[in-house]
């Protein structure tokens, strides 16, 4: 099974900060990686798929990069609406998929 490790698991940041979240896979997953945002009590929302493609309607301050085993989600200028938890997901072994452990972004 492919394991995904996200870091950090918790992040404290201020509005306007540049934020990066890393997702490492235990083996290569090509570009089959997605990122989700989840707010408390709500369902996850797809932000980015295929490593770097923004889902429709997602603000351009979000970006994704990487390949193989290391992937990064970047928020270029953190906004109040961005305080949430973020999860990566690998789809290289579809239909068997897996999520990373999550990163909670809180207000400093």
Partner 1 sequence: QVELVESGGGVVQPGRSLRLSCAASGFTFSDHDMHWVRQAPGKGLEWVAVIYFDDSAKYYADSVKARFTVSRDNSKNTLYLQMNSLRVEDTAVYYCARNYRGLIDPFGMDVWGQGTTVTVSS
Please state the closest distance from residue 28 (CB atom) to partner 1, in A: 15
Strand pairing partners for 67? 70
Please state the closest distance from residue 81 (CB atom) to partner 1, in A: 18
Any contact of residue 44 with partner 1 (CB under 8 A)?
Answer: yes
> Residue 78: exposed, middle, or buried by beta-carbon count in 10 A (0-12, 13-18, 19+)?
buried
Q: Strands 103-107, 10-13: parallel, antiparallel or unpaired by DSSP?
A: parallel
Strand pairing partners for 53? 49
Please state the closest distance from residue 15 (CB atom) to partner 1, in A: 25
Instruction: Tell which residue, 21, 2, 29, 37, has the closest CA to residue 72.
Output: 21
Any contact of residue 57 with partner 1 (CB under 8 A)?
Answer: no
Terminus-to-terminus CA distance in the chain, angstroms? 36
Task: Specify the residue, 20 or 102, whose C-beta has the smaller distance to partner 1.
Answer: 102
Any contact of residue 87 with partner 1 (CB under 8 A)?
Answer: yes
Q: Catalog residues that contact partner 1 under the rule CB under 8 A.
A: 32, 34, 36, 38, 43-46, 49-50, 53, 55, 85, 87, 89, 91, 94-102
């Amino acid at each position: 099974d492919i394991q995904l490790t996200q870091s950090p698991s918790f992040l404290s940041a201020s509005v306007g900060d540049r934020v990066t979240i890393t997702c490492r896979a235990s083996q290569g997953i090509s570009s089959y990686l997605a990122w989700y945002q989840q707010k408390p009590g709500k369902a996850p929302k797809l932000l980015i798929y295929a490593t770097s493609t923004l889902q429709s309607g997602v603000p351009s301050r979000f970006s994704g990069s990487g390949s193989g085993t290391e992937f990064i989600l970047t928020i270029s200028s953190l906004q109040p609406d961005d305080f949430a938890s973020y999860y990566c997901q690998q789809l290289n072994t579809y239909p068997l998929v897996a999520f990373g452990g999550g990163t909670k972004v809180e207000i400093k």
